[in-house]
């Protein structure tokens, strides 16, 4: 792998330095090199170089630039205190990249143990899948910024959603079973679909699913626990979106024109309840707002 890595870096450096190539191609080659210096993952490097060669690599803008100072009408500015209360309640600690509105990179929050469980071929396919999901994540981020303005919770939440979604599609959490690999794949898909439809399953719902699928409880509970642990920011984002939709659209009495903290508190509890009790389906192909 070291040899392949060095060859790719040499090739990308040649493209970046060659004035005969198109400027956008040179910029993308430079981006891949700089990105590799940060993450150091050879499989990500190979996936990005392949996408570049196929003309599929996309570079996304920083989103924070959309929050220009004069645009005080943005929902995230008008209801910033409410959003802050929700993110604090969920214990969200944004990174510098979240604050600055960097393009989403799913590898940045990937648990190394997940990748280490794969063989070489699967790791390369996994990173290719991550790049595809990154396109969807950044498209969703751009739509949310256009609608609400930029806030770090959108980036953090969408990043978690698409990372966990990709892992659930590529890695099976169920232990080997005499009923075969097809059973394990089908069962995990059912358990994932359930947590897609509801942000969080209660214990009774989990037990019913375990009995219905005849799963080992440890497998299913470990899978759900991993999803929930790695979707805290996503849950907070959904609560914030529910809040913004309510404050911005339907109930004028909740508007915080006077900065009244009681209005903020009431709105936060409404949004929290809506986000976790609603059974509205989420899109399987992309995150719905």
What letters, b where the CB count within 10 A reaches 16 and e where it falls short, cover 104-115? bbbbebbeeebb
* Residue 214 to residue 141: CA distance in whole angstroms: 38
Q: Quick: pLDDT tens for 108-120.
A: 999 888 888 888 8
Q: Quick: pLDDT tens for 241-289.
A: 999 998 876 544 444 333 444 444 444 444 444 444 443 333 333 444 4
CA dihedral of 248, 252, 256, 257, whole degrees rounded to 10? 110
Q: Give this prediction's pTM.
A: 0.79
DSSP at 97: H
* Residue 124 to residue 54: CA distance in whole angstroms: 16
Per-residue tens of pLDDT for the chain, all 289 residues = 677 888 888 888 888 888 888 888 888 888 888 888 888 888 888 888 888 888 888 877 777 655 555 556 789 988 989 999 999 999 999 999 998 899 999 999 998 888 888 888 889 999 999 999 999 999 999 999 999 999 999 999 999 999 999 999 999 999 999 999 999 999 999 999 999 988 788 999 999 999 999 999 999 999 999 999 999 999 999 999 999 998 876 544 444 333 444 444 444 444 444 444 443 333 333 444 4
Q: Which helix (H) or strand (E) holds 263?
A: helix 261-277
Give the distance from CA 202 to its chain's centroid: 23
């Amino acid at each position: 792998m070291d040899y392949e890595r060095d060859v790719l870096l040499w090739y990308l450096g040649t493209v970046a330095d060659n004035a005969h190539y198109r400027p956008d191609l040179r910029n993308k080659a430079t981006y891949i090199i700089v990105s590799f210096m940060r993450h150091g993952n050879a499989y990500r490097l190979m996936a990005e170089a392949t996408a570049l060669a196929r003309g599929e690599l996309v570079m996304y803008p920083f989103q924070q630039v959309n929050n220009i100072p004069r645009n005080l009408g943005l929902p995230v500015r008008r209801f910033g205190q409410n959003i802050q209360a929700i993110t604090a309640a969920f214990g969200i600690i944004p990174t510098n990249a979240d604050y600055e509105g960097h393009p989403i990179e799913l590898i940045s929050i990937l648990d190394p143990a997940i990748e280490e469980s794969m063989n070489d071929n699967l790791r390369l396919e996994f990173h290719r899948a991550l790049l595809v999901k990154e396109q969807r994540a950044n498209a969703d981020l751009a739509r949310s910024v256009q609608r609400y303005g930029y806030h770090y919770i959108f980036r953090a939440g969408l990043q978690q959603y698409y990372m966990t979604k990709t892992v659930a599609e590529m890695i099976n959490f169920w232990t080997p079973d005499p009923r075969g690999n097809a059973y394990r794949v089908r069962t995990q898909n059912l358990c994932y679909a359930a947590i897609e439809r509801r942000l969080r399953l209660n214990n009774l719902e989990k037990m019913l699913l375990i009995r219905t699928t005849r799963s080992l409880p440890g497998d299913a509970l470990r899978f759900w626990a991993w999803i929930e642990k790695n979707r805290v920011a996503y849950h907070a984002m959904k609560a914030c979106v529910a809040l913004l939709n309510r404050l911005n659209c339907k109930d004028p009495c909740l508007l915080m024109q006077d900065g009244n903290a009681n209005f903020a508190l009431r709105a936060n509890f409404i949004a929290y309840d809506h986000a976790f009790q609603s059974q509205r389906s989420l899109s399987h192909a992309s995150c719905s707002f």
